[in-house]
Amino acid sequence: MPDAGIRVRFAPSPTGHLHVGGVRTALFNWLFARHHGGTFILRIEDTDRSRSTEENLGFVLDALTWLGLDWDEGPPAPGYRQTERFDLYRAHAERLLRAGRAYYCDCPPAQLEAERKAAEARKETFRYSGRCRDRGLAAGALRLRIPDEGSTVVHDLIHGPVVFEHRQLDDWILVRTDGTPTYNFCVVVDDVDMRITHVIRGNDHLSNTPKQVLCYEALDYPVPQFAHASMILGPDRSRLSKRHGATSVQAFRDEGILPEAMVNYLARLGWSHGDQEIFTRQELIERFDVKDVASSGAIFDRTKLEWFSHEYLKMTDGARLAAMAIPFIERAGLPVPADRARLAAMLETLRERAKTLVELVEVGRFYFERPREYEPKAAEKFLTVDGAQRLQRLIELVQAAEPFTAEVIETAVRALAAELSLKLVDIAQLARLAVTGRTASPPIFQVLALLGRDETLVRLRAVQVAIAR
Which residues does residue 198 pair with via DSSP β-bridges, in sequence order?
225
pLDDT of residue 378: 95
| Interval 116-142: pLDDT, tens | 999 999 988 888 999 999 999 999 999
Is 32:6 a contact under the CB 8 Å cutoff? yes
User: Would you say residue 111 has pLDDT above 70?
Assistant: yes
Mean pLDDT within 377-395: 95
Hey, how many other C-beta atoms are within 10 angstroms of the C-beta on 70? 12
Mean pLDDT within 69-75: 97
pLDDT of residue 245: 67
314 is catalytic: no
User: Would you say residue 255 has pLDDT above 50?
Assistant: yes
User: Would you say residue 211 has pLDDT above 50?
Assistant: yes
Is 39:211 a contact under the CB 8 Å cutoff? no
Which residues does residue 282 pair with via DSSP β-bridges, in sequence order?
none
Mean pLDDT within 371-390: 94
Which residues does residue 312 pair with via DSSP β-bridges, in sequence order?
none
Contacts 24+ apart (CB under 8 A), 402-408: 404/449, 404/452, 404/453, 405/449, 406/443, 406/445, 406/446, 406/448, 406/449, 407/445
Hey, how many other C-beta atoms are within 10 angstroms of the C-beta on 376? 8
Contacts 24+ apart (CB under 8 A), 299-304: 299/233, 299/234, 299/235, 299/237, 300/20, 300/232, 300/233, 300/234, 300/235, 300/240, 300/244, 300/269, 301/235, 302/245, 304/265
Mean pLDDT within 53-74: 95
Of 117, 123, 211, 242, catalytic? 242
Question: Omega before 76 cis (within 30°)?
Answer: yes
Mean pLDDT within 35-55: 90
Mean pLDDT within 168-182: 94
User: Would you say residue 251 has pLDDT above 70?
Assistant: yes
Burial label, 24 (beta-carbon count in 10 A; 0-12, 13-18, 19+): buried
Q: For residue 365, which amino acid is it?
A: R
User: Would you say residue 375 has pLDDT above 60?
Assistant: yes
| Interval 276-333: pLDDT, tens | 999 999 999 999 999 999 988 889 999 999 999 999 999 999 999 999 999 999 999 9
Q: What is the DSSP string of 227-278?
A: EEEPPEE-TTSSBP-GGGS--BHHHHHHTT--HHHHHHHHHHSSB-STT---
> What's the pLDDT band for 48 if we cut at 50, 70, 90?
confident
Distance CA 354, CA 364 (A): 10
Hey, how many other C-beta atoms are within 10 angstroms of the C-beta on 314? 11
Distance CA 230, CA 238 (A): 12
| Average pLDDT of every residue of the chain | 94
Mean pLDDT within 373-389: 94
User: Would you say residue 436 has pLDDT above 90?
Assistant: yes
pLDDT of residue 3: 60
Strand order in the sheet with 102-105: 102-105, 141-144, 173-175
Task: For residue 72, give the DSSP letter.
Answer: S
For residue 170, is it left (φ>0), alpha (ψ between -120 and 50) or beta?
A: beta
| Interval 84-107: pLDDT, tens | 999 999 999 999 999 999 999 999
> What's the pLDDT band for 4 if we cut at 50, 70, 90?
low
Which residues does residue 239 pair with via DSSP β-bridges, in sequence order?
233
User: Would you say residue 1 has pLDDT above 50?
Assistant: no
Q: Is residue 54 helix, strand or coil?
A: helix
H or E element in which residue 22 lies: helix 20-36
Mean pLDDT within 146-156: 95
